Chains A and B, each alone.
Chain A
Amino acid sequence: MHRFVVLLLFAGTAFAEVRFNRDVRPILSDRCYACHGPDGNNRKTKMRLDVEGGAGASILAGDAEASPVYKRLISTSKTLRMPPAYLGHDALPASDVAMIRQWITEGAKYEKHWSFIPPVRPALSAVQNSAWARNPIDRFVLNRLEREGLKPSPEADRRTLIRRVTLDLTGLPPTPAEVEAFVGDASPKAYDKVVDRLLASTRYAERMAIRWLEAARYADTNGYQTDGPRTMWRWRDWVIDAFHKDMPYDRFTIDQLAGDLLPNPTTEQLIATGFHRNNRTSAEGGSIDEELRVEYVADRTETTSTVWLGLTVGCARCHDHKFDPVPQKDYYSLFSFFNNVPERGFVWNFGNEDPLMKAPRQNEAKRLAELDDKVAAARAAADKAARDLPKLQRKWEQQIKAPGWTVSDGLGLRVAEQKSFDGKAFTELADGPKFNYQDPFTFSARVRPETPNGALLSKGEDDFEGLQHALYILNGKLRLHITFRWSDLALRLETVQPLKLNEWQHVAVSYDGKRRASGVRVYVDGKPQEVTVLMDQLLNPLSTKLPWRLGAGGGMRFQGSLEDVRVYTRVLTADEVAALTVSEPVEQLAALKKRSAAQETALRLCYLDTAAAPVIRSTRAALAAAEAERNKYAASLPETMVMRERDEVRDTFILKRGAYDAHGDKVARAVPAVLGAMPESYPRNRLGLAQWLVDRKNPLTARTTVNRWWAMLFGTGIVKTVEDLGSQGEWPGNQDLLDWLAVEFMDSGWGVKHMLRTMVTSATYRQSSRVTPELLQRDPENRLLARGARFRLSAEMIRDQALAASGLLVDKVGGPSVMPYQPPGLWQELTSSSEYNSYKQDTGEGLYRRSLYSYWRRTIAPPSMVNFDSPTREVCTVRENRTNTPLQALNLMNEVTYVEASRRLAERLLADGGASAESRIAHAFRLVLARDPKPEEVRALSAALERFRAYYAQNPAKAEQFVAHGTSKPTGPGPELAAYAGIAGIVLNLDEAVTKE
């Protein structure tokens, strides 16, 4: 009877607006879906309430009273009522019943999955305790708390608060001075001032960068198998700079995904595109190039989707997605945006791969420009000096004296005399230069072949597929082999035109040492030849003690004649090659009335080489020196990999079962259909895709991003599955809050600092994190936010805090990655003893930089980071993991970083902490925990201190050992320092020290 009255009461209630996702779905999900929802295995009947039409005739849209669903809800019969009493369920509360009634009455309309509908700014929730709310965040949180009958916690004390917000926004603890300034600041804006100060610091940018690096799978190595090095730190520094400057997130997105496609991109915008060159690459011998390349494109597709859309599309690589409406076709349409990079799959193991660029920093760019100017000035001077050259040269020609002159710079081997070969015998040479795969060279000879197949010159195995540098004639064509392994690690090319048989010709081949066929020039009689590239994978070092051979190599011999065979250890210019084609002595050329172009060139080179006027010689030498200086400097500049588009767009096909070679239908570039279409005005390339991602109508990007930052600050996202806002992801705990944040983010002009400021200045953020047993029972994960967040610091924060609190931290922004302490042998035991496999631990400041600068080798990531749940950076990771293990305890107690930091912290206590044990312990607390200790804490630590003191007084040699850890030199009395180092270690290991509270 009582219930009936209540029902009647609500029956007349009309809600202003009923929305399925917001109002109805939570009720159905909570009370009905277990038996009438998406899980086919658990569904009790065909009747389901999760999809439109699933209820059949049980819902009569527009007529709630007649709908069986409604009738069952209000039934007074225990056997008929839903949810069923016989399973122990209570009836729905009257307000819920009223909600469903109105929903049916208004047409029982379902909505698309919530996150596929663009967010609109929700009205602020009504709350009773409106005085508590500092900003709209609090209204949404408080509304929920009040509905749950909960109250927010009081504000955290100032010391807790400044430590919390300083760690959150900069990843480092506040200094005691900062703490005291805040505690003593009576201004109502005191907290806001702190927040502004923190957001303005580069430390903020470094803190924001590290989560982004993990999402972008940034590392210093390639990641597969032999895991060779690469250089991408310029991209990392770009990220830091972007956060520091508060680059709007839409531009941040566009620059990284498509900076290269912007009109006249700046160097910085090109560097930004390294985001999608951070994927892992493989140099494993035997790999299939295309299979790997497809893997890279898939990685980019899935990373983009996870980072911006919060959508996991990976399932659709092999088949239509089972949960989200992403068919396989849509996957490959998205894939096609990234399928047009001129890159290879099977990569070089010792550095960056194309496309890449030199990425000088500001001061370096300035220096380079100066050197360019210097070259230009030297060139102008040389050109000026050369104005009289023809006249002077003509005069010189009258009295020419240059016996035996030839191009001799870099000439490493020469066999001048003519030799005949019978197809059997050959000449082995005792000397000659050694070449590795990155050494430039020029081969040159006059040849008169009698058969279309034979070996002209070789160094290496006398086996066609063997390790070698060799020049052949095959089917009449001139052919170059540089081979480490025939099948996959070699460079091979041949001329399109065959040589002439039984005629003398001059041949020359130069290679610039840059591992690419594009760096090879072939000349016949001084004319550049068109070539066919047969293999272009010169990826491995090669060296041999085997001799140079004339007329032999590759198991072949030569029939014909050779003359003036030369090997240079540099690339000859076309002019120099032209000069080599001239066989007459220069004196003879000088006497000629009419000369060929090559003869002219030879004379000119001879003049410049031997007899040019001093001003010509000196200005030319100055130009060469300026160029050499410039090139040397340019070569030393940092390099980074970037995105680029191929000239001819590569077709994209659906890959059946995801297999690289199982082409299905061809697809066009498009965004997943369920998310709408790209506006016509956007180009159909990565730029258009990037613009679409940050389009105001995109339902996911803003939500995904603010949700990730929320998780960073509060420990859990508003949608807990921060990597998945799709239908398999968790439903948002508070969608109004999420949508308000998302819309605010976009409306603010995608202001990153604006959003973080909004979050950390909310009353919600500022609550105390104390937990009552009741609250713990009620909300163990703190999803309702009736208290402040309390969780373990991330890996890099724990280390950085120890460095900062102890005074060891070297506060320097950017630059090449550094190698901090690591137990010896970690790399070698899993790899080999080659050069790049030896970890070269830094000796100076590299040991004490912030952790985001630590060299990151993906297959063997820094153990003290991985111990604390750092992702390995092999694939995109956006969700933070926090475990609590004994290995972490061992790490914090015994790793040299922390042992050294404890000792340095002890030195600070002795130097600045006053004279008493109490004041020194208090100083340690202030440095690490930003607060004063309680008496019982001082008591416990003082007792320990006495024990340590007693021990080290007895064992001074042990004290010397204990204070000697690390490379910094200890200062202070050994036993006393050692005892305090023990105390400092305890403080750094406190639960509170490794926790944000």
Chain B
Amino acid sequence: MQPITRRHFLAGAAVASLSAATGPNFAPKAKRVIYLFQSGGPSQMELFDYKPRLTRMQGTELPASVRAGQRLTTMSSAQASFPVVPSKYSFAQHGKSGAWVSELLPHTAKMVDRLTFVKSCYTEAINHDPAVTFFQTGSQIAGRPSMGSWVSYGLGAETQDLPAFVVMISPGSGGTGQPLYDRLWGSGFLPSRYQGVKFRSVGDPVLYLSNPEGFPAENRRVYLDTLKTLNEQKLADYGDPETATRIAQYEMAFRMQTSVPELTDLSKEPASTFELYGPDARKPGSFAYNCLLARRLAERGVRFIQLYHRDWDHHGGLPKGLPRRCQETDQPSAGLIEDLRQRGMLDDTLVVWGGEFGRTVYCQGKLTPDDYGRDHHPRCFTMWFAGGGMKPGLTLGSTDDYCYNIAERPVHVHDVQATILHCLGVDHTKLTWKFQGRNFRLTDVHGQIVKEILA
């Protein structure tokens, strides 16, 4: 039998994927990313972008000069009036940095000196599907690889036992969240090995992970040993490196059967962990649980950990829905930052928080004394970053008094993407894949690194 050399194995991998991981272009600040995506578009006005002057303007018509021909969704474009509505919630300054944070986010407020706020993010899309697709793939049109798969293609994994790119989803208790799509963590035209692997909260955490009932691990070991013997005979006979790769992948599958259950077994987590993330962290499928798993994935060398929390789309009934979303996400997000810090991992983990767009200052639907809603707003919204490569306690950019237009330092979606890649040591203009005769990249032909927020 012909020995399987490492070179043999790699040759097979290279043939299968057309190209191996490219590796960082320069020394990275962050080794991994935890992206806390808030799906639906959280309102910047109720959370971070404090606009005291709006109180006096309550119910007044948003001046056309502010709107300046802005494209609106057809959900509110036919409205006869656009009354300004201020935040119902109070704000206070926190920490040494004096960042303004809403009363809805008491835990995040305690963490502000570790966070970097960008209040002047903007996008081009006005509806969910194109906007989320834009944020996650760099293009509003489906078919491009997602950010996580670009990173996984560029940098590979630091683990042999888990996928490089993991996705987890939590629903939001309103149950009215916008749908998500596999393409948001898909690999587009990159080989599908780079696509995100969705960890589920019901059934197997990874699809088809468990052995079928009645076929225990000891049988699986016999099965795999036999399979390996036979496949090695085939390899000796035919000499196809793909066979060598397949043998290795079955072994990795077997390792995942151990590593994933170990990952999701929280029984050894001390009580202090749950104090950090909050009691929800014991409930599989909650945002808090996913935040805790995110830390455990990060510890185990997973490169890109993508969370989605749904149900931030408050067209109406905002005072009812928004506080619940905050309650679900505030403590876990802050807990994650603190947990990473305590473990010395915040320095090389980049945490990103944000949605696909912001919300309008004007009320959508009927404005009543205790109820209002806000439509999608692409022109400005707030994101925050923490950890690897970021300058903590900083706020970049600002919006006008109406929180409608950016007053200073616009940061485009492609800029955010370029900056995330930069923190990972990747030059966003160099991470490319040739498809249909063209070199594609996450940031298309755009993207400027936001240098001001980098440490």
Q: Which of these, B75, B204, B231, B436, contacts A823 with CB under 8 Å?
A: B204
Asked if A724 and B436 sit within 8 Å, CB to CB, the answer is yes
How far is A830 from B212 in the complex, measured between Cα atoms in Å? 25
Q: Which of these, A223, A224, A889, A940, contacts B226 with CB under 8 Å?
A: A940
Q: Which of these, B16, B71, B129, contacts A225 with CB under 8 Å?
A: B129
Asked if A295 and B241 sit within 8 Å, CB to CB, the answer is no
Q: Which of B173-232 contact A (CB under 8 A)?
A: 175-183, 186, 191-193, 195, 197, 200-204, 206-216, 218-220, 222-223, 225-227, 229-231
Asked if B78 and A486 sit within 8 Å, CB to CB, the answer is yes
- CB nearest neighbor in B for A892: B208
Question: What is the minimal beta-carbon distance from B193 to any residue of chain A, in angstroms?
Answer: 5
Q: Which residues of B have CB within 8 Å of A639?
A: none
Q: Is A859 located at the chain interface by the 8 A CB criterion?
A: yes
Give the number of chain A interface residues (Cβ < 8 Å).
109
- CB nearest neighbor in A for B79: A487
Q: Which residues of B have CB within 8 Å of A944?
A: 222-223, 225-226
Q: Is A733 located at the chain interface by the 8 A CB criterion?
A: no
Q: Is A781 located at the chain interface by the 8 A CB criterion?
A: yes
Asked if B169 and A830 sit within 8 Å, CB to CB, the answer is yes
Q: Which residues of B have CB within 8 Å of A825?
A: 200, 202-203
Q: Is B367 located at the chain interface by the 8 A CB criterion?
A: no
Q: Is A893 located at the chain interface by the 8 A CB criterion?
A: yes
Q: Is A948 located at the chain interface by the 8 A CB criterion?
A: yes
> Which of A17-25, A607-615, A860-868 lies at the binding interface?
A860-868
Asked if A863 and B207 sit within 8 Å, CB to CB, the answer is yes
Question: What is the minimal beta-carbon distance from B213 to any residue of chain A, in angstroms?
Answer: 4
How many CB-defined contacts (below 8 Å) exist between A and B? 272
Q: Which residues of A have CB within 8 Å of B250?
A: 886, 889, 989
A288-B74, A487-B75 as given contacts; A869 in contact with B252, CB under 8 Å: no
Q: Is A796 located at the chain interface by the 8 A CB criterion?
A: no
A315-B438, A961-B213 as given contacts; A284 in contact with B242, CB under 8 Å: no
Q: Which residues of B have CB within 8 Å of A791?
A: 242
Q: Is B246 located at the chain interface by the 8 A CB criterion?
A: yes
How far is A306 from B181 in the complex, measured between Cα atoms in Å? 25
Asked if A893 and B179 sit within 8 Å, CB to CB, the answer is no
A286-B376, A323-B437 as given contacts; A488 in contact with B239, CB under 8 Å: no
Asked if B143 and A286 sit within 8 Å, CB to CB, the answer is no
How far is A261 from B48 in the complex, measured between Cα atoms in Å? 58
Contact with A along B141-182 (1 / 0, CB 8 A): 111000000000000000000010000010100011111111
Asked if B210 and A872 sit within 8 Å, CB to CB, the answer is no
A771-B240, A986-B223 as given contacts; A893 in contact with B211, CB under 8 Å: yes
Q: Is B264 located at the chain interface by the 8 A CB criterion?
A: no
Asked if A958 and B216 sit within 8 Å, CB to CB, the answer is yes
How far is A874 from B184 in the complex, measured between Cα atoms in Å? 12
Q: Which of these, A770, A771, A859, contacts B181 with CB under 8 Å?
A: A859
Asked if A886 and B171 sit within 8 Å, CB to CB, the answer is no
Asked if A824 and B181 sit within 8 Å, CB to CB, the answer is no
- CB nearest neighbor in A for B216: A958
Question: What is the minimal beta-carbon distance from A33 to any residue of chain B, in angstroms?
Answer: 16
Q: Which residues of A have CB within 8 Å of B209?
A: 890, 894
Q: Is B245 located at the chain interface by the 8 A CB criterion?
A: yes
How far is A888 from B195 in the complex, measured between Cα atoms in Å? 13
Q: Which of B21-53 contact A (CB under 8 A)?
A: none
Q: Which residues of B have CB within 8 Å of A866?
A: 182, 192, 195
How far is A295 from B130 in the complex, measured between Cα atoms in Å? 12
Q: Which of A935-989 contact B (CB under 8 A)?
A: 936-937, 940-941, 943-944, 947-948, 951, 958-965, 978, 982, 985-986, 989
Chain B interface size range: 35 or more
Asked if A792 and B183 sit within 8 Å, CB to CB, the answer is no
Q: Which of these, B169, B215, B237, contacts A770 with CB under 8 Å?
A: B237
Asked if A992 and B253 sit within 8 Å, CB to CB, the answer is no
Q: Which residues of B have CB within 8 Å of A982?
A: 215, 219, 222-223
Contact with A along B112-139 (1 / 0, CB 8 A): 0000000000000011110000000000
How far is A240 from B182 in the complex, measured between Cα atoms in Å? 28
Q: Which residues of A have CB within 8 Å of B180?
A: 830-831, 859
Question: What is the minimal beta-carbon distance from B101 to any residue of chain A, in angstroms?
Answer: 30
Asked if B214 and A964 sit within 8 Å, CB to CB, the answer is yes
Q: Which residues of A have CB within 8 Å of B15?
A: 780-781
Asked if A225 and B436 sit within 8 Å, CB to CB, the answer is no
Q: Which residues of A have CB within 8 Å of B242?
A: 790-792, 884, 991, 995
A315-B438, A884-B242, A990-B227 as given contacts; A891 in contact with B234, CB under 8 Å: no
How far is A226 from B176 in the complex, measured between Cα atoms in Å? 12
How far is A284 from B40 in the complex, measured between Cα atoms in Å? 13
Asked if B193 and A780 sit within 8 Å, CB to CB, the answer is no
Contact with B along A192-212 (1 / 0, CB 8 A): 000000000000000000000
Q: Which of these, B216, B245, B366, contacts A884 with CB under 8 Å?
A: B245
How far is A917 from B99 in the complex, measured between Cα atoms in Å? 74
Asked if A948 and B239 sit within 8 Å, CB to CB, the answer is no
Q: Is A324 located at the chain interface by the 8 A CB criterion?
A: yes
Question: What is the minimal beta-carbon distance from A867 to any residue of chain B, in angstroms?
Answer: 8
Asked if A888 and B249 sit within 8 Å, CB to CB, the answer is yes
Asked if B438 and A893 sit within 8 Å, CB to CB, the answer is no
Asked if B207 and A287 sit within 8 Å, CB to CB, the answer is no
Q: Which of these, A724, A895, A947, A986, contacts B208 with CB under 8 Å?
A: A895
> Which of A362-370, A543-551, A843-851, A875-883 lies at the binding interface?
A875-883
Contact with B along A281-308 (1 / 0, CB 8 A): 0101111110000010000000000100
Asked if B175 and A721 sit within 8 Å, CB to CB, the answer is no
Q: Which of these, A829, A890, A978, contacts B206 with CB under 8 Å?
A: A890
Q: Which of A818-853 contact B (CB under 8 A)?
A: 823-825, 829-833
Q: Which of these, B192, B239, B375, B376, contacts A885 with CB under 8 Å?
A: B192
Q: Which residues of A have CB within 8 Å of B19?
A: none
Q: Which residues of A have CB within 8 Å of B142?
A: 223, 280, 874-875
How far is A326 from B209 in the complex, measured between Cα atoms in Å? 49
How far is A28 from B352 in the complex, measured between Cα atoms in Å? 49
Q: Which residues of A have CB within 8 Å of B176?
A: 832
Asked if A832 and B175 sit within 8 Å, CB to CB, the answer is yes
Asked if A891 and B241 sit within 8 Å, CB to CB, the answer is no
Asked if B179 and A886 sit within 8 Å, CB to CB, the answer is no
Asked if B231 and A282 sit within 8 Å, CB to CB, the answer is no
- CB nearest neighbor in A for B162: A886
Q: Which of these, A322, A883, A936, A994, contacts B233 with CB under 8 Å?
A: A936
Q: Is B17 located at the chain interface by the 8 A CB criterion?
A: yes
Question: What is the minimal beta-carbon distance from A885 to any residue of chain B, in angstroms?
Answer: 5
Q: Which residues of B have CB within 8 Å of A807?
A: none
Asked if A225 and B128 sit within 8 Å, CB to CB, the answer is yes
Question: What is the minimal beta-carbon distance from B439 to any residue of chain A, in angstroms?
Answer: 9
- CB nearest neighbor in B for A943: B226
A295-B141, A724-B436, A887-B197 as given contacts; A829 in contact with B222, CB under 8 Å: no
- CB nearest neighbor in B for A537: B74
Asked if B223 and A869 sit within 8 Å, CB to CB, the answer is no
Q: Is B77 located at the chain interface by the 8 A CB criterion?
A: yes
Q: Is A75 located at the chain interface by the 8 A CB criterion?
A: no
Asked if A287 and B437 sit within 8 Å, CB to CB, the answer is no
A282-B129, A883-B193 as given contacts; A890 in contact with B182, CB under 8 Å: no
How far is A823 from B204 in the complex, measured between Cα atoms in Å? 9
Asked if B192 and A869 sit within 8 Å, CB to CB, the answer is yes
Asked if A962 and B213 sit within 8 Å, CB to CB, the answer is yes
Q: Is A762 located at the chain interface by the 8 A CB criterion?
A: no
How far is A866 from B233 in the complex, measured between Cα atoms in Å? 29
Question: What is the minimal beta-carbon distance from B191 to any residue of chain A, in angstroms?
Answer: 5
Contact with A along B403-422 (1 / 0, CB 8 A): 00000000000000000000
Selected A-B contacts with CB under 8 Å, 17 pairs: A225-B181, A227-B181, A791-B242, A831-B179, A833-B175, A859-B181, A859-B182, A869-B192, A875-B142, A886-B250, A887-B197, A887-B208, A941-B226, A961-B214, A962-B213, A982-B223, A991-B234
Contacts A287-B74, A287-B127, A769-B238 known; 14 new A-B pairs at CB < 8 A: A225-B179, A284-B127, A772-B239, A790-B240, A859-B179, A884-B13, A885-B192, A885-B193, A899-B212, A934-B233, A947-B219, A962-B212, A994-B246, A995-B242
The 5 closest A-B pairs by CB, nearest first: A728-B437, A962-B214, A961-B214, A286-B73, A859-B181
